[in-house]
Structure 1
Amino acid sequence: MTVLVTGAKGYVGGLTVKALREHGGYGDVLAYGRAEADLTVPGALDAVPTAGITHIVHAAAVTKFAVDRATAQAVNIDGTAQVVELAKRCPDLERVVLLSTLYTAGLATGDIAEEPAGAVEEPRTDADDPPGVVRFANYYEWSKHTAERLVLDSGLPATIARVPTIIADDDTGHVSQYNAVHNTLKLLYYGLLSLMPGLPDVPVSLGTGDFTVNATMALLAAEPGIYHVCPDLDQTPRLGRIVDLMFTAFEQDTSFLRRQILRPLLVDEAAFANLINGLRTLPHGPVLDALESVSPFSAQLFRPKVFGNARLHKAWPGYRAPDPDTLVSQTAEYLVRTRWGRLS
């Protein structure tokens, strides 16, 4: 058995390579990062020896919510197309696993099943949802949805692992990879975000690096298909609860208390849009910059989703999700204690 992992220098890809090598039951592990194969360059994988490769884990991706269309196309879509072509040349291939995101569901609401989504439409806000078409809040979601379609339509034995937002490495709340969520919390801590978009009861699926990698390992031997690598609904915190837990942790810090920063007010979608559009007519300042950093994923905070994960439970007998309150609290404590990684 030989497992090839793309994005091996990235966060989830690197953790996957480490777990595969430590497990010892997966034979050779081929770790491909950008230095070994830049997937934005056509033909980057042409020289990869394909004999013996039984599994491919495609983790290489740009995961920023604010990614521009050209970068999303080049990395997430065209890069995936190259991996699909490589997989088709592997005579011993048993499985190709694409690490995707729960938000390939786009702006849909309600129950989201572990099954292919609808046809792809680029992000837009000037039309109602057409039947059978999935719209998106940003080009990250759009590009990952398109990548899913490439893999699913390839005829390969394919598994799609849709992962949640990863906020910590493990249950202790330790953070080694920072993303938009951590940046938003930093803005809240320093009082730069007094208004937040979102509904307090919207579930926000959160995960850890450990949870994601352990699930991915289990899926290597599972039946092909789509899996929501996320906690159950009762282990998924609501937005209002996350804000409360974060501020409770912040308030243990004396320097935060001295600044007397109030908890943010959650505003509805129209109010948030009016606020940010109004500020865009004025000279740039820290308040607008803070709101602009939240804007690319803000639409999701108004659209509640329930991600079914029955297939994940069946494929992963060792399923264990972190306690949401503990994870949020300990992550906040870690961020404050280390000042978002600046202090040891």
Structure 2
Amino acid sequence: MLFQLQVSLAAGHQFDRDVELLLYYQDTHQPTAIVEAAQASSKPGSLMGDPVVMLSLYPEFPKDVMSSMTSHGEFLFVVDRSGSMECPMHLGSGSQDRIGSARDTLLLLLKSLPMGCYFNIIGFGSSYESFFSKSVEYSQKTLDEALQKVKEMRADMGGTEILQPLKHIYSQPCLPNRPPQLFLFTDGEVGNTKEVLDLVKTNAGSHRCFSFGIGEGASTALISGVAQQATGHAQFITGQDRMQPKAMQSLRFALQPAVVDISVKWNVPKGVSVTPLSPPIRVVFQGQRAILYAQLTGESSGDTEGSVTVKYSLAKQPVENQLSFILKPAEDTG
């Protein structure tokens, strides 16, 4: 559907100040499906020669569901302590080293955890070590102990071997009704990325993972792959980026209930086909838009509308949205 808007300035305006036009969405969190018409000058069957539909999800979860999840987690912070973490965050003057930035970020995250949760910190390099023998309940006593250990943390553990600490984490029994949330911080890459991602994928049903690539040398395949396989979120900290705001955003995501069993089903009349142009939606967070594009090809003899049905499960409750769209909107002649 094409919308047109005409704005007129009040009589007597002298253009002596900036003109600002503020637009506000109605029903911001409602999912939408919008079709862009094909270009008349393009050949049918080409990218621009057929209409494209955009599916947009920007959910708002019920407050009772959100509040019930805040203290029901186990937070596992997995921190790279290899020698390369001594390198500066960037080449500019006054740059903090990577392990120093990781320490400051951990201090902030630990102070931001909800009361009643459980947590642990695992440092790794050529080997690995845990602050506590097993996850402990978050209290003033355990917080103070962890803060002191974080302040003493150094980049003194050799190479970058992520697989073994992950195997150790996954071998531990999960606490009842406390889904584990992994926070992985690393500045490097590993020679067994596929093995790491396969392990993460195998355990994605129980452990969600939020990954952080520190510096220019962090492996995109590893950082993005871990988050994608474990329905989490990936962040990259390069140049003069500050790690703390990005870590806090991921913590907000981790405090949300996991959205699982996401499915998208297209319903179009006979003669019309749908070709997805985007990867499948694997994760949905409140306050983060998820967008899916698909191309419509073919002709329908009668029906002029199609629909898409999005289903997922939130806190064990099914959610379903069905959206209709026009198969061939009017061309934009403007």
Q: Decide: shared fold, TM above 0.5.
A: no
Highest CA radius of gyration, 1 or 2?
2
The structure carrying a bigger helix percent of its residues is 1
- TM-score, normalization by structure 2: 0.31
The structure carrying a bigger strand percent of its residues is 2
- TM-score, normalization by structure 1: 0.31
